């Protein structure tokens, strides 16, 4: 049994603590604020077993460049005058090449194929949280957009087999009768889920405490104590914690923490925002989770109504959102779901997601530190990939060495790129 300290109590850190606790390890979680904040709280509430495509995709560069002149793009670049940030953007540009995109997709699919079974395992373990099996649908304004989107699947037969093409208004509205009548094209991932993130994290906290783990909030990391090339203790504002193994799962905070260990993590923040709308009649809202191609919003039905979200503002420094973006999000929602009532619109939320240079999660040993691990860079898929990430971490820690099957997720991959 190892003594493991996890830095970061978002959904990824909590999932790692739960998995390692199940395997008999002694776990301490350190969180600089309170557990379950940031994008772990305000995400789209969609869990997907399909979307293995990383953010830097072919065609991303023109969209991102256009954002410098016009707001409201699917991906927005926030100017920052930093050599490290410029290097990060150049790496991201390289990741949009067809071959790099294929490698990134295969890397993310290592996690994607574990997603649904991992959430089913939570249910089998007795964790109580809000989850629905209503699928997800990506919709398009016209046939050309739909055809182009389906073409992306062609090199990835296994991923293509997880979706059903919808090439008529009748097919789209059979999946979701409440969606705007003019929407006539889409594809449907029948097995995708809706998970209310706060309920999941509360269940994980209860479970890890029952396992005997310690969750220490308001415990910001000050430094790491290194002995013979390994971390022997974590020094925090709440005290010093000895460790056999350390996991850094602090989202956007993982980059400065990795720097304390001598590793320059190619990761920056990507801003996002969401709005919750409460209503009583589920028939007036979405029947499935929906992602729109034109307006770039996600919509997810939950017990209390819906959550709609948008935004990938690469390089954003602070978790804030302008009111005009919230207003536009609500206008786009109304166009997609005209029957949704707006009497109980909640205040907008904004947060910073951890975005790696190639868009793929970073999971594995910190280069040069044998017993320290990273679990970050999940971008918009932290909720989706949290349980799968936990399983990968547990395998790596118990193996005590890098495993070839997870090489595409390892921080070492950045050193291998020319």
pLDDT in tens, 218-252: 999 999 999 999 999 999 999 999 999 999 999 99
Q: Is 62 buried (19+), middle (13-18) or exposed (0-12) by CB count in 10 A?
A: exposed
pLDDT tens-place string over residues 38-67: 999 999 999 999 989 999 999 877 766 666
d(CA 377, CA 379): 6
pLDDT of residue 100: 96
Residue among 300, 273, 357, 297 at smallest CA distance from 54: 357
d(CA 4, CA 245): 5
d(CA 163, CA 112): 14
Of the candidate ranges 86-90, 184-188, 345-349, the one whose mean pLDDT is the lowest: 86-90
d(CA 352, CA 13): 16
The sign of the dihedral angle between the CA atoms of 314, 315, 321, 322 is: negative
d(CA 409, CA 304): 36
pLDDT tens-place string over residues 312-327: 899 999 999 999 999 9
d(CA 377, CA 76): 18
d(CA 241, CA 231): 11
Residue among 291, 222, 211 at smallest CA distance from 256: 222
Q: Compute the mean pLDDT over every residue in the chain, rounded to the nearest whole number.
A: 95
Those residues with Cβ within 8 angstroms of residue 317's Cβ, 6 or more apart along the chain or in another chain: 78, 80, 269
- What mean pLDDT comes out for the span 81-95? 92
| Cα 323 from chain centroid (whole Å) | 24
Ramachandran category for residue 43: left, alpha or beta (phi over 0 → left; psi -120 to 50 → alpha) = beta
For 270-281, letters b (16+ CB in 10 Å) and e give: bbbbbbbbebee
Q: Which pLDDT band holds residue 70 (cuts at 50, 70, 90)?
A: low
On whether the pTM is more than 0.85, the answer is yes
Tokens 């320290």 -> residue: 372
d(CA 56, CA 43): 19
pLDDT of residue 65: 63
Q: In what order do the strands lie in the sheet with 193-195?
A: 46-47, 193-195, 131-132
Q: Which two tokens stand for residue 320?
A: 């804030």
pLDDT of residue 418: 38
* pLDDT at residue 266 greater than cutoff 60: yes
Look up the domain containing 378 and give its range. 3-416
pLDDT tens-place string over residues 154-180: 999 999 999 999 999 999 999 999 999
pLDDT of residue 64: 67
CATH of the domain at 187: 3.50.50.60
89, 344, 355, 379, 384 from 86: Cα distances, Å: 5, 42, 14, 19, 29
Number of domains within the chain: 1
């Amino acid at each position: 049994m190892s003594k493991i300290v996890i830095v970061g109590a978002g959904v990824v850190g909590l999932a790692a603590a739960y998995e390692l606790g199940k395997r008999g390890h002694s776990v301490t979680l350190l969180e600089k604020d309170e557990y379950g904040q940031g994008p772990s709280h305000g995400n789209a509430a969609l869990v997907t077993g399909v979307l293995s495509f990383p953010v830097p995709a072919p065609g991303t560069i023109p969209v991102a460049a256009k954002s410098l002149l016009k707001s409201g793009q699917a991906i927005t670049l926030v100017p920052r005058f930093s050599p490290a940030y410029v290097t990060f953007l150049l790496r991201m540009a390289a990741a949009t090449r067809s071959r790099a995109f294929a490698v990134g997709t295969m890397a993310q699919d290592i996690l994607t194929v574990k997603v649904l079974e991992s959430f089913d395992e939570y249910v089998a373990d007795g964790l109580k949280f809000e989850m629905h099996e209503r699928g997800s649908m990506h919709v398009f304004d016209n046939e050309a957009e739909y055809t182009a989107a389906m073409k992306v699947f062609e090199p990835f037969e296994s991923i293509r087999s997880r979706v059903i093409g919808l090439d008529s208004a009748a097919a789209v509205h059979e999946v979701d009768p409440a969606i705007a009548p003019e929407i006539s094209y889409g594809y449907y991932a029948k097995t995708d889920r809706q998970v209310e993130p706060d309920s999941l994290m509360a269940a994980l906290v209860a479970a890890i405490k029952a396992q005997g783990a310690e969750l220490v909030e308001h415990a910001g990391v000050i430094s790491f104590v290194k002995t013979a090339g390994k971390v022997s203790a974590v020094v925090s504002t709440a005290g010093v914690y000895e460790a056999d193994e350390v996991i850094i799962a602090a989202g956007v905070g993982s980059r400065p923490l990795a720097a304390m260990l001598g590793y320059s993590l190619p990761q920056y923040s990507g801003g996002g925002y969401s709005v919750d709308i409460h209503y009583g009649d589920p028939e007036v809202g979405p029947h499935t989770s929906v992602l729109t191609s034109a307006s770039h919003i996600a919509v997810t039905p939950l017990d209390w109504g819906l959550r709609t979200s948008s935004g990938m503002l690469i390089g954003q420094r602070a978790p804030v959102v302008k009111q005009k973006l919230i207003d536009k999000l609500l206008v786009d929602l109304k166009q997609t779901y005209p029957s949704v009532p707006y009497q109980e619109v909640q205040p907008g939320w904004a947060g910073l997601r951890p975005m790696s240079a190639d868009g793929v999660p970073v999971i594995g040993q910190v280069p040069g530190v044998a017993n320290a691990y990273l679990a970050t860079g999940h971008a918009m898929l932290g909720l989706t990939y949290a349980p799968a990430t936990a399983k990968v971490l547990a395998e790596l820690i118990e193996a005590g060495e890098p495993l070839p099957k997870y090489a595409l997720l390892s921080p070492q991959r950045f050193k291998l790129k020319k």
